[in-house]
Amino acid sequence: MKEKKWIRILVTLTLVLILSGCVGRDTSGAPTGFIWDVLGRPMEQLIFWFAGIFGNTVGSYGLGIIAVTILVRIAITPLNINMMKTNTIQQERMAYIRPQMQAITEEMRQAKTFEEQARLRQEQAALQKAAGIQFVSASGCLPLFIQMPIFSALYFATISSTEILNDTFLGVSLATPSWLFCILSSAFYLIQGYISQIGMTEEQKQMNKAVLFTTPLINLIFGLSLPAGAALYWTVSGIFSCLTSLYISLVLKPKIKEDIKKDMEENPIHLPKRKDVTTSVHTKQVTTASIQKVRRNAGKQQKR
């Protein structure tokens, strides 16, 4: 699970860095280019539409950004919940076979031959398969792929639209970085990380410790280098993430644990039969040593 989180973070950073240089400006200073026409302009018009609903007054473009963010988060929340549900199921199933996995891992550390290590890895894979654990799933990346074009559109609209940049929200200019929104967005994502750890074992918490602080740190670094509109988007998204994690941790996760416990009692995992790898390897080594001893004795007899 930890690896999947790091992959999402790296993909997000890569796409932002690649796309950030794709919007230019004409002689009048207006944004231009293919990326702007495809992503930035439609999002700008949507924010303008919401700003009109709010009266096109001071702060209306900030409210427009919030409205668009809420719509996006509502749309992708079912996908995020499904992804978190899948991850939780995998974690709970892994917890049931952790003692056996740890025993095999310890044997792998003591293994002295490639053959022994290969067979132990096969045992690990068979054990995970018997428990119904699948780590590779395309659905886990689906929310990211849906969010990236929308985030890119919001990003280009908030940093390129003259009307949005000239607006203020809660006394904060949307044209310059805002410490307020940066701190708020980072704080909400940090809170979300702690909420997601509810019900985790100490081992699971340690595994997720690095990721816990990575997202807030990225928000802070990027927010301080971008106009406040982008940090405003992250702040609202962070609030939604906290609410989603609360639902997962307090409502969905206990139910999943109970369902898995019941399923394991009714359908216990039939562990694959362990292979005595050490014995076979030891026998092979003894046989080889015996052959070499016989050859040495034969050589001595020939010399005589």
- Per-residue pLDDT of the chain (304 residues), as tens digits, is 444 454 455 555 555 544 444 555 666 656 666 667 777 788 888 899 999 998 888 889 999 999 988 988 888 888 777 877 777 777 777 777 788 888 888 888 887 888 888 888 888 888 777 777 776 555 556 666 666 777 778 777 887 788 888 889 988 888 888 999 999 999 999 999 888 888 777 777 777 777 788 888 888 888 888 888 888 988 998 998 899 889 888 888 888 878 877 877 777 766 656 555 444 444 444 444 444 544 454 454 444 5
Q: What is the predicted pLDDT for the residue at 189?
A: 92
Count CB atoms within 10 A of the CB of residue 6.
13
Q: What is the predicted pLDDT for the residue at 35?
A: 66
Handedness of CA 119, 121, 122, 123 (dihedral sign): positive
In a domain, 106, yes or no: no
In a domain, 116, yes or no: no
How far apart, in whole angstroms, are the C-alpha atoms of residue 77 and residue 239?
12
Question: What tokens does 207 get?
Answer: 């595994």
Helix (H) or strand (E) holding 125, with range, is helix 114-130
Say what the alpha-carbon torsion angle 199, 72, 138, 101 is, to the nearest 10 degrees: -10
Q: What is the predicted pLDDT for the residue at 294?
A: 40
In a domain, 248, yes or no: yes
pTM of the shown model: 0.68
Helix (H, G, I), strand (E, B) or coil at 267: coil
In a domain, 302, yes or no: no
In a domain, 41, yes or no: yes
Q: What is the predicted pLDDT for the residue at 58?
A: 85
Half-sphere exposure of 164 (CA within 13 A, CB side): 32
Task: Identify the domain containing residue 203 by its residue range.
Answer: 2-98+134-273
In a domain, 49, yes or no: yes
Q: Are 238 and 189 in contact (CB under 8 A)?
A: yes
How many structural domains compose the chain?
Answer: 1
AA identity, residue 169:
F
Among 236, 183, 229, residue whose Cα is nearest residue 67: 236
In a domain, 105, yes or no: no
Among 204, 1, 7, residue whose Cα is nearest residue 90: 1
How far apart, in whole angstroms, are the C-alpha atoms of residue 134 and residue 139?
12
Among 277, 255, 149, residue whose Cα is nearest residue 199: 255
Phi and psi dihedrals of 87, rounded to 5?
A: -60, -40
Q: What is the predicted pLDDT for the residue at 186?
A: 92
Question: What is the DSSP code string of 50-117?
Answer: HHHHTTS-TTHHHHHHHHHHHHHHHHHHHHHHHHHHHHHHHHHHHHHHHHHHHHHHHHHHH--SHHHH
In a domain, 114, yes or no: no
Residues 6+ apart with CB under 8 A from 67: 50, 53
Q: Are 140 and 86 in contact (CB under 8 A)?
A: yes
